[in-house]
Amino acid sequence: MPAIVLVGAQWGDEGKGKATDLLGSRVDYVVKFNGGNNAGHTVVVGEEQYALHLLPSGILTPGCTPVIGNGVVIDLSVLFGEIDGLTARGVDCSRLVVSANAHVIAPYNRTVDKVTERFLGSRKLGTTGRGIGPTYSDKMNRVGIRVQDIFDPHILEQKIAGALDQKNHLLVKVYNRRAIAVAEVCEELLGYAERLRPMVRDTGLELSTALDDGRTVLFEAGQATMLDVDHGTYPFVTSSNATSGGACTGSGVPPNRIDRVTAVVKAYTTRVGEGPFPTELLDAEGETLRRTGGEYGTTTGRPRRCGWYDSVVARYSARVNGVTDFVLTKLDVLSGRDRVPVCVAYDVDGVRHDEMPMTQTDFHHAKPVYEDFAGWSEDISACRRFEDLPKAAQEYVEALERLSGSRISVIGVGPQRDATIVRHDLLG
């Protein structure tokens, strides 16, 4: 009965939501350990499509306990909005557990996120505008508001006053915005207290006990390796640790309890927001991938930037996360091409790099070195066994497996739960 971490291997939107949902009733707990409602996971169950932002994908599985860990930043209005939306559609959200140590996205942090981006102009990061970065900044600055603070009005008021002290100077004097009143924020956050109280627990203790009792726990990352604040394409990253190490710090479960690490990787690459992307296609091929793959953001609706599979990124992800299995998604989107290029290395100012360049400058200069693989014309969405795939598709998967540094255990051939080829059991 393992503890398994599931991460994104690229720049997000690899299909982590579907991969988590696939494991379904075999998992007792699904833990979100980083990020907040910057995430957007689309999960298709039968005829129903769900867009999840803050809630762990395990919420859709009856009997599974979804956990929001200490590493997450929570926008309480989004939390209850999402719970209400799902409840109205018949999803039971009563098992949700929230860490007392998770940080709260205060309304002023949404404001700071938006005005900072506007102020940066052409140097902006293209954030989701949800207040994620400023809330993690407050956490590291030790002026954050935690879930537990909401149950002590006196402390809450003091902490909000502390956080707003500097921010109001910034908002008024630099950004030319109105000052935010402590009482206004206090009142808003206190308004959630009674509804929140029954969900709040010592989640680190609960998860450790669950593992002692032989339960299966899945730690589900938001965002992805290349958006990780330490290991991604800094500064064009999110503000949390989306790599497997974040599962420990973001949940209170230590590394020696983790048995497996699964990385979800798309059969091509996408990215939302600004920042370097060596295999990006700015031509008609990119537009075709976007159209065929439906590559528009679940959270902001922005068109995703699209490009070919980058095995340098995949190899890097395998190493940084300690990947034991890959889930390769959206192979079906590549059908109908004569050839499928794969980036096998970078050329940086005339020098070949087989590994991720060490510096940001080199990564910005990286030109992909492509190897072409034969394409296939068949619709593969009905394939359920590896042998059912056209020979060229099988060879493409085997090539990615060779180039990416870990076995490909599951292959996605469509958005539905059953549009999946399982080669090795992720929990086995």
Closer Cβ to ligand GDP, 62 or 294, answer by number = 294
Query: How is residue 172 annotated by DSSP?
Result: I
Residue 228 makes contact with ligand GDP by CB under 6 A = no
Q: Which of 21, 28, 41, 53 is catalytic?
A: 41
Q: How many residues does the chain have?
A: 428
The smaller minimum CB distance to ligand IMO, of residues 13 and 325, is found at 13
Residue 169 among the catalytic residues: no
> Which residue in the block uniquely carries the two structure tokens 């020098």?
351
Angstrom distance (rounded) from CA 144 to CA 146? 6
Q: Which residue is nearest to ligand IMO (CB)?
A: 273
- What b/e string do you get for 303-333 counting C-beta neighbours within 10 Å, with b at 16 or more? ebbbbbbbbbbbbbbbebbbbbbbbbbbbbb
The residue within the footprint of ligand GDP, chosen from 10, 14, 145, 335 (CB under 6 A), is 14
Residue type, 202: D
Alpha-carbon distance of 222 to 16, in angstroms, equals 8
C-beta of 270 vs 335, nearer to ligand IMO = 270
Closer to ligand GDP at the Cβ: 42 or 148? 42
Q: Is 273 in the site for Mg ion (CB under 5 A)?
A: no
Question: In whole angstroms, how close is the CB of 224 to Mg ion at the nearest point?
Answer: 9
Angle formed by the axes of helices 107-120 and 153-169, nearest 10° = 20
Q: Which does 273 bind (CB under 5 to 8 A by kind): ligand GDP, Mg ion, ligand IMO, none?
A: ligand IMO
Check 13, 21, 28, 75 and give the catalytic one. Answer: 13
Q: For the chain, what percentages of helix, strand and coil (3-state, to nearest 5) are there?
A: 40, 20, 40
Nearer to ligand GDP, 217 or 333 (CB): 333
Is 35 a residue that touches ligand GDP (CB under 6 A)? no
Binding mask 322-351 for ligand GDP (x = CB under 6 A): -------xx-xx------------------
CA-based nearest residue to 70, from 143, 155, 137, 146: 146
Distance CA 128, CA 137 (A): 16
DSSP H or E stretch at residue 97: strand 97-99
Instruction: For residue 63, give the nearest of 34, 90, 24 by alpha carbon.
Output: 24
* Joined tokens for residue 273: 């927001």
Least distance (Å) between residue 108 CB and ligand IMO: 16
Interactions with ligand GDP, residue window 390-419 (CB under 6 A): 412-415
Residue selected from 40, 133, 252, 414 as contacting Mg ion according to rule CB under 5 A: 40
Site string for ligand GDP, 44-83 (x = CB under 6 A): x---------------------------------------
Host H or E run for residue 396: helix 391-404
> Is 41 annotated in the active site?
yes
Sheet holding 217-220, edge to edge: 200-201, 97-99, 65-68, 29-32, 217-220, 3-8, 260-266, 325-329, 408-412, 420-422
By the 8 A CB rule, do 278 and 306 touch?
no
Q: Figure out which of the listed residues 4, 8, 13, 67 binds Mg ion, where binding follows CB under 5 A.
A: 13
Residue 198 or 294: which CB sits closer to ligand GDP? 294
Instruction: Give, for 48, the enclosing helix (H) or strand (E).
Output: strand 48-52
* Minimum distance from residue 367 beta carbon to ligand GDP (Å): 27
Nearest to ligand IMO of 239, 409 (CB atom): 239
Q: Answer with the entry of Mg ion, ligand IMO, ligand GDP, none that 412 interacts with (C-beta below 5 to 8 A by kind).
A: ligand GDP
Question: 196: closest CA among 89, 85, 83, 61?
Answer: 83
Residues binding ligand GDP: number (CB under 6 A)? 23
Kindly compute the dihedral angle of the four CA atoms of residues 416, 298, 229, 23, in this order, to the nearest 10 degrees: -20
**Which listed option, ligand GDP, Mg ion, ligand IMO, none, makes contact with residue 110 (CB within 5 to 8 Å by class)?**
none
Q: Of 194, 161, 183, 220, whose CA–CA distance to 3 is shortest?
A: 220
Of 304 and 337, CB closest to ligand IMO:
304
For ligand GDP, the nearest residue by Cβ is 412
The residues of the shown chain that bind ligand IMO, judged by CB under 6 A, are: 8, 12-13, 38-41, 125-128, 130, 132-133, 222-224, 227, 238-239, 272-273
Interaction site with ligand GDP (CB under 6 A): 8, 12-18, 39-42, 44, 294, 298, 329-330, 332-333, 412-415
Interaction site with Mg ion (CB under 5 A): 13, 40, 298
Residues with catalytic function: 13, 41
